[in-house]
Chain A
Amino acid sequence: EVQLVESGGGLVQPGGSLKLSCAASGFAFSGSAVNWVRRAPGKGLEWVGHIRSKTNNYATLYGESAKRRFTISRDDSKNTAYLQMNSLRIEDTAVYYCMSAATAWGRGTLVTVSS
């Protein structure tokens, strides 16, 4: 069974950092891109960014809100992808989802940025 499990969310102050993890199982993780998507309260889905597979040189691409603040990485030996978030803002408050294996989604992890 394809499964994605996010972790690492929590409460952080503005300007702080947080690192999310996405643990994958049930499919060939190393050959799959991983996308991060978020949904803020009262808003729609927003693409955060993605990391491609080793075959595609682990290339990354970011949405506008994530550029210069967020970094996506992966460790294929652990079947895990990461989202490092720095300089967090109140508007980064959202549920963060990882998506991979073309169609599978995790259940999400809540990030709350508040003082």
Chain B
Amino acid sequence: SYELTQPPAVSVSPGQTARITCSGDGLAKLYTYWYQQRPGQAPVTVIYKDKERPPGIPERFSGSTSGKRATLTITGVQTEDEADYFCQSSDTADSHRGWVFGGGTYLTVL
């Protein structure tokens, strides 16, 4: 089954651009989803199907993919964006697929 790899931590200053990567063999053909989880809160979907943004998610959040790598970009980071970010995809390319998560990246806004 596929696995996903994320850097454990990313740090940026307010107003800068944060890029969080997610790598995995399956990403070349399967969708990537991104979830934000602030301490003590439930996850929130910030990007689905590689680059789509759910209603209510700020435009500063964007997603992209290239080959086996997906990237979550936060343009103009705000202090409220400090959180864990998890990528997720399918664990196989079979017709009935389970999920796999990356290990998570903690975004620190300095």
Residues of A within 8 A of B (CB): 35, 37, 39, 44-47, 49-50, 52, 59, 61-63, 97, 99, 102-108
Q: List the A side residues contacting B97 at CB < 8 Å.
A: 61
Counting CB contacts under 8 A, is B104 at the interface?
yes
A103 and B42 in contact (CB under 8 A), knowing A46-B101, A50-B99? no
What are the 5 tightest A-B residue pairs by CB atom distance, in nearest-first order?
A47-B99, A103-B45, A44-B104, A103-B54, A45-B101
- What DSSP secondary structure best describes chain A's contact surface? strand
Are A59 and B48 in contact, with the CB atoms below 8 A? no
Q: Considering the chains assembled together, what is the distance between the CA atoms of A45 and B42 in angstroms?
A: 11
Q: Considering the chains assembled together, what is the distance between the CA atoms of A99 and B84 in angstroms?
A: 18
Q: List the A side residues contacting B35 at CB < 8 Å.
A: 45, 105
Residue of B nearest to A49 (CB): B98
Are B98 and A45 in contact, with the CB atoms below 8 A? no
Q: Between A and B, how many residue pairs show CB distances below 8 Å?
A: 50
Task: Number of B interface residues at 8 Å Cβ cutoff, please give it.
Answer: 20
Q: List the A side residues contacting B86 at CB < 8 Å.
A: 44-45
Residue pairs across A and B with Cβ atoms less than 8 A apart, 28 shown, are A39-B37, A44-B84, A44-B102, A44-B104, A45-B37, A45-B43, A45-B86, A45-B88, A45-B101, A46-B101, A47-B88, A47-B98, A47-B99, A49-B98, A50-B98, A50-B99, A52-B96, A59-B96, A61-B97, A102-B48, A103-B45, A103-B48, A103-B54, A104-B45, A105-B35, A105-B42, A105-B43, A108-B42
Q: List the A side residues contacting B100 at CB < 8 Å.
A: 47
Counting CB contacts under 8 A, is B24 at the interface?
no
Q: List the B side residues contacting A45 at CB < 8 Å.
A: 35, 37, 43, 86, 88, 101, 104
